[in-house]
Amino acid sequence: MRDPDQLRTLYESILEPSFPPSELESLGSLTSRMLDGKVTIYAVESEEGRLAVAVTEPLSPSSAVLLSYFATRADQRGRGVGSDLYRNVLSSVREPGRPSMVLAEVERPDRHPGDGEHGDLTARLRFYGRHGARVLDLPYFQPAIADGGERVYGMLLLALWFHPAGLSADGARLTEAGGIGPAVDSILGGESTVAKDDAAAVALRESARVGGGVRLLAVEDYAQVAVARGPEAGAR
- Helix (H, G, I), strand (E, B), or coil: what is residue 198? coil
Compare residues 42 and 70 and give the one whose CB is closer to ligand COA: 70
d(CA 28, CA 162): 31
Count of residues touching ligand COA (by CB under 6 A): 19
Cβ atoms within 10 Å of 40's Cβ, excluding its own: 19
Question: How far apart are the C-alpha atoms of 119 and 16, rounded to whole Å?
Answer: 12
**Among the residue ranges 121-129, 175-183, 200-208, 209-217, the one whose residues contact ligand COA (CB under 6 A):** 121-129
Query: Which stretch in 56-64, 72-80, 173-181, 223-231 sits in contact with ligand COA by CB under 6 A?
Result: 72-80
Residue type, 153: Y
**Using CB under 6 A, which of 106, 204, 216, 219 touches ligand COA?**
106
Choice between 1 and 81, CB closer to ligand COA: 81
Query: Is residue 79 a contact point for ligand COA (CB under 6 A)?
Result: yes
Length of the chain: 236
Which residues are CB-neighbours of 47 under 8 A, at least 6 positions away? none
Interface with ligand COA (CB under 6 A):
18, 70-72, 77-83, 104, 106, 119-120, 123-124, 126-127
